[in-house]
Structure 1
């Protein structure tokens, strides 16, 4: 009795949210911290919380569909930090990497996928098979005339990214014969940004983090300097379309100041 009523109320509320968003400004680029996979699995009663990683990886496909429907052409997702790779239980890391290989990389490689894949992070810290699967998917999607761009942050640390960008800039300048004083005189935020993992892409307008955590965890520290932040209490596999639309509504209702 209650389930049909709940579904009807959900559809009504989703329709209302969709109508509210119709004339609102949408973000060009949304970044998401996909947090809470294991906690969701425990909440759902699974004996092995690692199964949450599979549900989380599969859910990404659905969320990308919502982004495409909303006309959001740039999405960045945080799959695993450099600290995750170093500090978590090796069996859990192996399980997560398998999900990335068999779900994320394979689905993005399909000809029906709308998304061109970009990678951000220290790929050398990944297992060989995961690194190969992601690079293959990146190569296969590169030839597409894609309007939608997905950046996967994996083996990622925002501080390491900035250090790497500065190092690459200095090395390039040194190869051209510039002195350190020359570099110091010309150094600018735009010059550093060009060497970030995300160089050439727009900064995120909106960052969404699921699971109720209210912190960035080193995610896009440079790029998200002026982003609007939205923290959602649901775990990633349970992140519903109405949760996504609420985040978009919250974004559209804010007056962006860009540091002013």
Structure 2
């Protein structure tokens, strides 16, 4: 039986959507993967890029609309300079080597995160990826780069405060929708499920506002070992969740009887 059929069957039996519209990934464990094998951390990051390619291809095959990946956090700049340079080099190679394939597969690339202080070559690279793929209508690959959720929310608060100061907005008009409209993800639906590898069970400053009603799936494997089977397993677990969004649902037996 195909993976998509398994997801559809699990979902149908529970009355939940067959597949999530938006999947977010916290790609954790590259360093530990390398250390466990006596390899340099860079090799773990390199293998992590290979896992990212597998995740994108799986998302395309499973007809997921949005895939958000936490590629580089605002806090990652505090890592050793050599490691930061290695990560930036991998980003450069990923876009240079994979952009053509992404474009050919109708993938649209979006980048979220602060860009004001990025080196011009990095900012230009991210802009190029967006511009080349902006008309594509398939999977939207959202790359969270130099991203921090607290920083994102603070920036939204500053923007709203500026609007109030200029008389374009009253304090009474500031609600959840107003805040959401000022976030990097204003035109992107909130994630249905957030998957984190490595066994850690925290968000690490990732999509804090957007994750209000997301389901969480924590996998014990390290990110370089993530593959299609791991993606399918996580989505099968998601398919067995009941998403009530604060509401009280009727007992399943009653729903079945009706």
TM-score using structure 1 length: 0.86
| Residues 109/245 of structure 1: CA separation in 2 closer, same or farther (3 Å cut) | same
Aligned position for 1:209: 196
Matched, 1:162 2:162: no
* Cα distance, 1:42 vs structure 2: 2.2
| Residues 16/68 of structure 1: CA separation in 2 closer, same or farther (3 Å cut) | closer
* Cα distance, 1:256 vs structure 2: 0.5
Q: Which is worse superposed, 191-200 or 124-133? A: 124-133
Among residues 127, 132, 139, which one is paired with 1:140 in the alignment?
Answer: 132
How is 1:1-260 mapped onto 2 (pairs within 5 angstroms)? 19-23=5-9, 24=11, 25-46=18-39, 48-85=40-77, 87-104=78-95, 106-110=97-101, 111-142=103-134, 144-175=135-166, 177-178=167-168, 183-260=170-247
* Cα distance, 1:105 vs structure 2: 5.3
1:32-60 CA distance string (max 9 Å, x none): 001111211222342x1212112212321
TM-score using structure 2 length: 0.86
Gaps of 5+ in 2: 12-17, 248-258
- What's the Cα RMSD here? 1.8
Number of residue pairs matched? Answer: 239
1:201-239 CA distance string (max 9 Å, x none): 100000000111110001000000100000001111101
Gaps of 5+ in 1: 1-14
* SS class of match (1:225): helix
C-alpha separation in 1, matches of 2:3 and 2:184: 35
* Cα distance, 1:17 vs structure 2: 5.2
C-alpha separation in 2, matches of 1:185 and 1:18: 46
1:127-149 CA distance string (max 9 Å, x none): 3322221111111111x232221
| Residues 172/140 of structure 1: CA separation in 2 closer, same or farther (3 Å cut) | farther
C-alpha separation in 2, matches of 1:88 and 1:231: 24
* Cα distance, 1:164 vs structure 2: 0.5
1:95-143 CA distance string (max 9 Å, x none): 000000111454135441421111111123433322221111111111x
